[in-house]
Amino acid sequence: MNRDLTQTVARIAGVNPRACMRCGKCTGACPAYDEMEYHPHQFVSMVETGRIDELLRSKGIYTCLSCFACIERCPRQVEPARLIEAVRVLAERKQGADHLRPQDIPARLDPDMPQQAITSALRKYRR
Amino acid sequence: MQRIGVFVCWCGTNIAATVDVQAVSDALAKEPGVVLSANYQYMCSQTGQDLIETAIREHALTGVVICSCSPRMHEQTFRKTVARAGLNPYLLEIANIREQCSWIHKDRAQATEKAIILGRAAIAKVQLNTPLQAGQSPVTKRALVIGGGIAGIQTALDIAEAGFAVDIVEKQPTIGGKMTQLDKTFPTLDCAACILTPKMVDCAQNEKIRIFSYSEVEAVSGFVGSFRVTIRKKARYVREDVCTGCGLCTEKCPQKKVPNAFNLGLDTRRAIYIPFAQAVPKVAVIDADYCSMLKNGKCGVCAKVCAAGAIDYTQKDELVECEYGAIVAATGYNPIDLSGYDEFAYSRSPDVVSSLEFERLMNAAGPTGGTLLRPSDKTHPKTIVFVQCVGSRCSAEGKGKTYCSKICCMYTAKHAMLCREKYPDTDVYVFYIDVRTPGKNFDEFYRRAVEEYGVHYIKGMVGKVSPEGGKLKVQASDLLDGRQLHIDADMVVLAAAIEPDKSARPLATMLTASMDTNDFFTEAHPKLRPVESPTAGVFLSGCCQGPKDIPETVAQASAAASKVIGLLSKDSIVCNPCVAQPDELMCNGCSSCEKVCPYGAITYLDKEFRGPNRTTLLRRVAQVNPAVCQGCGACTVACPSGAMDLKGFSNRQIMAEVDAICR
Amino acid sequence: MVFSYFPGCTLKNKGARLDLCGRRAAEALGFTLEELPEWQCCGGVYPQARDEIATRLSSVRALDAARRKGQSLVTLCSACHHVIRRVNGDMQRDAQIRGAVNRYLQLDTPYEGQTQVLHYLEVLRDVIGFDELARRVTRPLTGQRIGAYYGCLLLRPSREMCFDDPENPTILEQFIRAIGAEPVYYAMRNECCGGYTVLEPGGRAQKQAGKVLANAAACGAQTLITACPLCMYNLQKSVGGELPVRYFTELLAQALGLEVES
């Protein structure tokens, strides 16, 4: 239980996890469901109940596709993707916690890959 | 010299827990004119009222101040109390130290101080109170019910049963409302038509009831007891008094491609039509948007085949004016438009339907004769997915409704059960957020769907419906199992939120009746006066006040009727004596008050006044009709010369209160 | 008609031909895209965290540059459009972000979201008009069954993007009709292709794209078009060439009869 972190995450995300009514539409809509350790509705509940340390350790924060389907379809304006990003940002702000290192990139490139792939990956996965 | 009695109520702990009632009565005892100051646990109780009555007699009180709850709650109670002791009821003032003090403050010292100030203001006002006599105004013994669904029908039947005349105004060509479109009704599964149509026929046959079908209210003026209402009878192009309802015209009309609104566009009808077999009145109507005779003067087939000679292409809208003593709003509901919910593919696939459309698909009088077939290819659906709360309980801006629509859990259980009963080889899934089934035999009904009929209830929500290859690929969450489900469904049924009919908002404006932000009519008191609008003489029946199922609607409809009967059984009603009164000597005839009066209570009169040196002057001065004035006070603030005053709330009294507060 | 133009990283490099097609078509249709001088990369991802200021600055610089020229800002890439449009919304509505950005940038006049941000498709729809576009088409793509792939970034969150109906969009289908082809509707057209994860190991992006392509093919699409270079790359990688995936400006230039060298 970490109430301070809950507030920090809610503040960074700009949404209120308490507004969630546990309908599960986010999880029904999520295209990355199979890859996610914690599913969007669980994520909201874990933020609300202060289980942020578990989330910070989870690989799941990097599997959100940022497709905004849960934001669009959430009937309560809880917008799980914003909470997921807030936790990811918290994790990445710790020194040495980058999910993607620049030196790893060349090995993953192919000749057709657009620049956009690299800029957005760096923006998403590294401080 | 005034002799004022002050009575401070504890309201149990409602007031006493936050306000030091003893300190309040001690402080107020020292105010000028106060000869007695007491406090008691429950002033509204018989003992409390006796205390006041005795004090008035024993101390020969000339004014009474009660520090208690809001005057909206108990002003009438206490006016009767002081009247019983022989005091004019308008020599009573209430200081609201509950809603406006103890309930909103936490600090006891501050709350006590504020209660004393509020009491002081009431004492300052009561010093200036004068005895007022309430006038009388006559009651027109006829009621108007706006909306002819089950709510309006029940209200009208009950009023007529008590012997009063009642008119129903229904904008559709037939009365009956939404219930005519339903198949079976929960929790007993009796057929909707079987229980509704006898009531529709009763309305038609009752000599106390007049039905204005295909009509709308155009204007309302007047006030409780004597409303004047203009009704627009829309042109049917068929003479109602001549048409026999044989239906021949509706078979011969060559215009066959008109979407059938009664079946929600799931099939077609002709340009001349009778909505359904049991329509009341059973009279044809021409749809002017599709009739080629009305559009370009070519055709005339219906007139040729009509043996009764009822067709009249020249018919025009007709305005009828009537007087009523009471008006009942029964404008009902509609499912919301689902085009904003295309994550469920409602616009893209005909096999994704609303629950009301599903009713028609299950109904023996519906487009498929009661056989459940997919609209796309007319095959039997083998897997059906029901989605609850579509647009209900939704706080997302501009999308759905924040409230629970209340009826969806039960009708979805009914649909699921009926599917499994009629077609046992069907797989039925219901996605729910919560199953809400309070009501007699309601939860048992839902459990039967699960336990006896094997409906798969899944706690979760559908996130996406993708039509592909004749199937509907449903992606959803199962929260209890912790899975994302993928179901290949043949049909998806959406339980759309319900909203008040669009005609309710303009009607409320005409009636000066208040509404909430969702356009439901507001009741006079949410618990104690649930079928009355705060506007006197206006009553509420059915879903126009909030989502309701049929049993609840009928109960409320009868309750509204009993309130109407109570009003109509009086020959006259007591008016509010706190009305505006102009000081003719100060009035300069500027018409400012007339312009702001929302009730049309003010007129002007050229009146003779004595001038200097025995001359006579003719001056234009304001006159207030006390039977029409509602005492809102708008004129008193608009009057530039201070000539307009409100009895019981005079400018002097208000200023005395302000002075007492600022002292 | 002259618009400020923000090409973005990909259309300046790997996607240069898509950009060229867009500019040539613009000239043919009577509007000019004037590239902003010294524009900086938008970052490709909108920072959802409300306390992220630095990652919003490049967008605000572009928006302010357009304001100084008194022009609307047009983008061709969906990702640039998404980032710049949402940052512009922040500058209009979020006093906290607006204050922090302006304190940092120290502009002559504080930027408060005055610039109108348009996607190239919106210029076609709202400025030129699809009827007019259809009249200008000289080589219609008659008989082609084309599926529109919207993806995420153009549409969501609709409250901020205000671009089209997020669940049943129509703009690309109107475009397809205007160039003489037949649009194919398929449900996954507004579902994610997983493009942001192409650098992540495990082939997640391609698996996701595969679902989109399967749905489009099952619904009868012969070609897909998209307005995002990253989606285009990801879909092309997954499809292995059976279902051509094209950028909408390529087909636009083709329909207008323009020869654009590669």
Domain A3-94 annotated CATH 3.40.220.10: no
N-to-C CA span, chain B: 22
The predicted-structure confidence for C156-201, as pLDDT tens digits, reads as follows 999 999 999 999 999 999 999 999 999 999 999 999 999 999 988 8
Average pLDDT for chain B: 95
Interface test with B, best of A27, A30, A72 (most B CBs within 10 A): A27
C84-110 confidence digits (pLDDT tens): 999 999 999 999 999 999 999 999 999
Q: Which one of B389, B396, B464 has the shortest CB-CB distance to A29?
A: B464
How many interface pairs between B and C have CB atoms less than 8 angstroms apart?
Answer: 29
Q: How far is A101 from chain B, CA to nearest CA, in Å? A: 33
Contacting residues for B348 by C-beta, under 8 A, at least 6 apart:
B342, B467, C168, C185, C187
What is the predicted pLDDT for the residue at C195? 92
Helix (H) or strand (E) holding C21: helix C16-29
Q: How many CB pairs under 8 A join A and C?
A: 118
Tell me which residue has tokens 């009565």. Answer: B25
Confidence grade of residue B34 (pLDDT, cut at 50, 70, 90): very high
Q: Do C48 and A13 touch (CB under 8 A)?
A: yes
**Contact of B237 with B223, CB cutoff 8 Å:** no
Bridge partners of B9? Answer: B40
Alpha helix locations (H) across B14-161? 21-29, 46-59, 71-84, 108-126, 150-161
Please tell me what DSSP assigns to residue B96. Answer: E
Question: Does the pLDDT of residue A127 top 80, yes or no?
Answer: no
Q: What is the DSSP string of C57-93?
A: HHHHHHHHHHHHHT--EEESSHHHHHHHHHHHHHHHH
Q: Tell me the average pLDDT across B193-206.
A: 97
CA separation for the pair C182, C184 (Å, rounded): 7
Task: Map tokens 């002709």 to a residue.
Answer: B270
Q: What is the pLDDT of residues A45-61, one digit of tens each?
A: 999 999 999 999 998 89
Mutation site for C-interface testing, chosen from B338, B347, B395, B468 by largest number of C Cβ within 10 Å = B468
- CA distances to B530, B547, B578, B633, C121 from B514, rounded to whole Å, are 13, 17, 21, 18, 46
Instruction: Please give the order of strands across the beta sheet that includes B483-489.
Output: B462-468, B471-478, B483-489
Indicate if C138-255 has the same CATH topology as C2-120. no
Q: Cβ of B404 under 8 Å from any chain A Cβ? A: no
d(CA B101, CA B112): 9
Per cent of chain B over pLDDT 70 is 100
What are chain B's domains? 4-126 (3.40.50), 146-233+320-332+507-568 (3.50.50.60), 248-305 (no CATH), 335-499 (3.50.50.60), 580-647 (3.30.70.3270)
Arithmetic mean of pLDDT, A9-25? 95
The domain segmentation of chain C, as residue ranges, is 2-120, 138-255
With 70 as the cut, is the pLDDT of residue C3 above it?
A: yes
Number of H helices, E strands in chain C: 12, 8
Q: Show which of residues 382-401 on chain B sit within 8 Å of chain A, judged by CB atoms.
A: 389, 393-397, 399-400
Model confidence band, residue B600 (pLDDT cutoffs 50, 70, 90): confident
Confidence label for A98 from pLDDT (cuts 50, 70 and 90): confident
Angle at B54 between CA B50 and CA B60, to 5 degrees: 145
HEC assignment per residue over C129-161: CHHHHHHHCCCCCCCCEEEEECCCCCCCCHHHH
pLDDT at B574: 87
Cβ within 8 Å, pair C215-B466: yes
Mean pLDDT over residues B462-468, rounded?
96
pLDDT 10s digits, B392-440: 999 988 889 999 999 999 999 999 999 999 999 999 999 999 999 999 9
Q: What is the pLDDT of residue B369?
A: 94
**Nearest Cα residue to B643 out of B603, B584, B567:** B584
| Chain B residues closer than 8 Å to A35 by CB | none
C249 exposure class (CB count in 10 Å sphere: 0-12, 13-18, 19+):
buried
pLDDT for A26-48, tens place per residue? 999 999 999 999 999 999 999 99
Domain C2-120 falls under CATH 1.20.1050.140? yes
Instruction: In whole angstroms, give the CA distance from residue B649 to residue A65.
Output: 65
Rounded CA gap, B262 and B264, in Å?
A: 5
pLDDT of residue B425: 96
- pLDDT for B231 equals 98
Residues C199-225 pLDDT 10s: 888 888 989 999 999 999 999 999 999
Distance from CA of B456 to the nearest CA of A (A): 17
Residue of C167, C168, C218 with shortest CB distance to B469? C218
Q: For B551-597, what is each residue's pLDDT tens digit?
A: 999 999 999 999 999 999 999 998 889 999 999 999 999 999 999 98
* Contacting residues of C for A12, CB less than 8 Å apart: 49-51
Chain B residues in contact with C219 (beta carbon < 8 A): 468
Q: pTM of the entire structure?
A: 0.89
Question: Do B60 and B85 contact (CB within 8 A), yes or no?
Answer: no
Predicted pLDDT at B136: 87
Chains within contact range of chain A (3+ C-beta pairs < 8 Å):
B, C
Instruction: Name the A residues in 50-109 with CB < 8 Å from any B CB.
Output: 69, 72-77
Q: Name which of C243, C254, C241, C181 is nearest C212 in CA terms.
A: C243
Q: Is the pLDDT of residue B628 over 90?
A: no
Asked whether the beta carbons of residue A30 and residue B394 sit closer than 8 angstroms, the reply is no
pLDDT value of position B656: 96
Q: Does B342 touch chain A (CB under 8 A)?
A: no
Compute φ and ψ for C184, nearest 5 degrees.
-115, 125
Which residues of chain C make contact with B462, given a CB cutoff of 8 A? none
Tokens coding C75 = 């983008």
Q: Where are the domains of chain A?
A: 3-94, 99-127
**What pLDDT is attached to residue C240?**
64
Of C48, C208, C229, the CB nearest to A85: C48
**Exposed, middle or buried, C54 (CB in 10 Å: 0-12/13-18/19+)?**
exposed
Residue with tokens 């940092």: C104
The closest CB to that of C215, out of B339, B345, B468, belongs to: B468
C112 touches chain B (CB under 8 A): no
Q: How far is CA B577 from CA B80, B90, B135, in A?
A: 15, 9, 7
> Which two three-digit tokens encode residue B239?
């003479």
Which pLDDT belongs to residue C241? 62
Mean pLDDT of A96-100: 80
Q: What pLDDT score does B576 carry?
A: 87
Rounded Cα distance between B546 and B182, Å, is 19
Is the CB of B463 less than 8 angstroms away from the CB of A76?
no
Exposure string over B484-518, b if 16+ CB within 10 A, otherwise e: bbebebbbbbbbbbbbbbebbeebbebbbbebeee
pLDDT of A123 over the 90 cut: no
pLDDT at A2 over 80: no
Amino acid identity for residue A90 in this structure: L
Q: What average pLDDT does this structure show over B304-314?
A: 96
Q: Which of B343, B467, B468 sits opposite C167 (nearest CB)?
A: B343
Asked if B637 and B572 count as a contact pair (C-beta separation under 8 A), the reply is no
Q: Is the pLDDT of residue C143 over 90?
A: yes
For residues C77-83, give the mean pLDDT: 97
CATH code linked to domain C138-255: 3.40.50
User: What is the tens place of the pLDDT at every residue in B466-519?
Assistant: 999 999 999 999 999 999 999 999 999 999 999 999 999 999 999 989 999 999
Asked if residue A1 has pLDDT above 70, the reply is: no
Give per-residue pLDDT as tens, C38-59.
999 999 999 999 999 999 999 9
Q: What pLDDT shows up at residue B258? A: 97
pLDDT at res. B509: 93
Query: Which residues pair with residue B606 across a beta bridge?
Result: B620
Distance separating alpha carbons of residues B68 and B15, to the nearest angstrom: 8
Tell me the chain B residues in contact with residue C168 when contact means C-beta distances shorter than 8 Å: 339, 342, 347-348
